């Protein structure tokens, strides 16, 4: 005979499972299976996490995908893994280090040379480093700002003419809900001034939040500057997903135990996190009228910014970024 305590435990477990399923139903899912044959997608950070799952689903729809990865060996491992489940599509690995402007320029030149068109650029790669020590890119910029914002800013600008030649085209930039806690200090974008506030921000990793806000402002400004061409700029919050983004964050055994319930109830799989990215990259329902918007859970999301930014701030950020990466002002 089953005891009352056993029934209670089983009922509680069933309730938890149903609650998880309910949460999943609200995340949204890109259901369209329409063929993407003949279209070329470029995905940064394509070797793991949301990037790899985005590549997997695009390939499943028979797309050609340029996989931009920091390591060619990791790119090839990702392709091997994808090919275990998906045989369609064309996967082309290319080396790209977003922490190096020289690497970005070399990569862009090779893409422009080798591909007649790029239909969709997906700026997915990102870094999150929790460290008391300052980390910088090859060119001397704070790592989060340098990779998450400047790297993709330069890449998009270098490929912009190719995107215009391929119009209608899209630029999809993966941000984060943490952008709502971000702030843009135009006088200290590279975190060169050390103040008590900036040191505290280093410990809480405010810099990551700032870089994700910069992603959104970049998308909005790109939309504003592309009104005369059919290039759609979109930003995506993929949701709290289980990826290796936090690979450099130290964890202890008790943290794994404490965070287990959070992982179960709130974290999405990488494939679930990729669904809104796929919607913005491939849906026929997304068009120029959505340019400049942020998407979350497969629908438009209006962020609640802790530190609101004006249109003038977003435009100035673009101009300063242009100077930082060594582009000519237009």
| DSSP for 229-250, written as a single string | TTEEEEEEE--SB-SSTTTTS-
Name the token pair of 11: 């009922």
Catalytic residues: 208
Write down the pLDDT at residue 205.
81
Between the alpha carbon of residue 311 and those of residues 105, 173, 222, 268, the distances in Å are 29, 19, 12, 33
Q: Which of 205-209, 255-259, 280-284 has the lowest mean pLDDT?
A: 255-259
Classify residue 6: in a domain, yes or no.
Answer: no
Q: Please check the confidence at residue 258 and state whether its pLDDT lies above 70.
A: no
Confirm whether 44 is domain-assigned.
Answer: yes
Q: Range with the lowest mean pLDDT among 125-129, 158-162, 218-222, 300-304? A: 125-129
- Say if residue 5's pLDDT is above 70: no
Specify the pLDDT at position 253. Answer: 46
Q: What is the pLDDT of the chain when averaged over all its residues?
A: 88
Q: What is the CATH number of the domain that holds 175?
A: 3.40.50.720
Q: Model confidence over 291-328: pLDDT tens digits? A: 999 999 999 999 999 998 999 999 999 999 999 999 98
Residue 251 pLDDT > 60, yes or no? no
- Find, among 224, 216, 243, the residue nearest to 53 by Cα: 243
Q: Where are the beta strands (DSSP E) in the chain?
A: 40-44, 64-69, 90-95, 120-123, 169-174, 231-237, 294-296, 299-301
In a domain, 298, yes or no: yes
DSSP assignments along 46-84, one per residue: TTSHHHHHHHHHHHHTT-EEEEEES-HHHHHHHHHHHTT
In a domain, 24, yes or no: no
92-103 pLDDT, tens per residue? Answer: 999 999 999 999
Domain contains 58: yes
Expressed as residue numbers, the domain containing 292 is 29-325
HEC secondary structure over 40-56: EEEEECCCCHHHHHHHH
Mean pLDDT of 158-178: 97
87 forms beta bridges with none
Q: What angle do CA 68, 158, 63 make, to 5 degrees?
A: 40
Question: Per the structure block, which two tokens stand in for 39?
Answer: 């279209």
- Rounded Cα gap, residues 123 and 172, in angstroms: 6
Mean pLDDT calculated for residue range 216-230: 98
* Distance from C-alpha of 249 to C-alpha of 128, rounded to nearest angstrom: 8
The mean-pLDDT minimum among 40-44, 52-56, 190-194, 302-306 falls in: 190-194
Q: Please say if the pLDDT value at position 179 is more than 60.
A: yes
**Residue 192 within any structural domain of the chain:** yes
Overall domain count for the chain: 1
Residue 19 located in a structural domain:
no
The answer to whether residue 8 is domain-embedded is no
């Amino acid at each position: 005979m089953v005891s009352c305590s056993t029934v209670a435990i089983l009922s509680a477990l069933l309730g938890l499972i149903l609650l998880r399923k309910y949460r999943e139903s609200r995340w949204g899912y890109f259901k369209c299976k329409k063929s993407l044959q003949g279209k070329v997608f470029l995905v940064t950070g394509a070797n793991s996490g949301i990037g790899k799952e985005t590549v997997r689903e695009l390939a499943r729809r028979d797309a050609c995908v340029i996989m931009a990865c920091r390591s060619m060996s990791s790119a090839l491992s990702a392709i091997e893994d994808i090919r275990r489940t998906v045989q369609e599509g064309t996967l082309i690995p290319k080396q790209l280090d977003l922490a190096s402007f020289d690497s970005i320029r070399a990569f862009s030149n090779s893409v422009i040379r080798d591909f007649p068109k790029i239909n969709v650029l997906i700026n997915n790669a990102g870094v999150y480093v929790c460290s008391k020590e300052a980390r910088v890119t090859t060119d001397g910029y704070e790592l989060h700002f340098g990779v998450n914002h400047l790297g993709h800013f330069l890449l998009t600008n270098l490929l912009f003419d190719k995107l215009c030649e391929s119009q209608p085209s899209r630029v999809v930039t993966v941000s984060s809900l943490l952008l709502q806690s971000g702030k843009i200090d135009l006088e200290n974008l590279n975190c060169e001034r050390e103040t008590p506030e900036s040191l505290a921000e280093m410990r809480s990793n405010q810099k990551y939040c700032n870089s994700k806000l910069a992603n959104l402002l970049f998308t909005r400004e790109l939309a504003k500057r592309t009104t005369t061409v059919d290039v759609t700029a979109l930003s995506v919050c993929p949701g709290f997903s289980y990826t290796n983004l936090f690979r450099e964050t130290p964890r202890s055994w008790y943290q794994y135990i404490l965070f287990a319930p959070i992982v179960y109830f709130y974290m999405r799989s990488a494939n679930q996190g990729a669904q809104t990215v796929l919607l913005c990259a491939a849906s026929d329902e997304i068009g120029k009228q959505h340019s400049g918007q942020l998407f979350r859970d497969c629908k438009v999301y209006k962020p609640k910014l802790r530190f609101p930014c004006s249109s003038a701030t977003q435009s100035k950020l673009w101009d300063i970024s242009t100077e930082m990466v060594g582009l000519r002002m237009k």
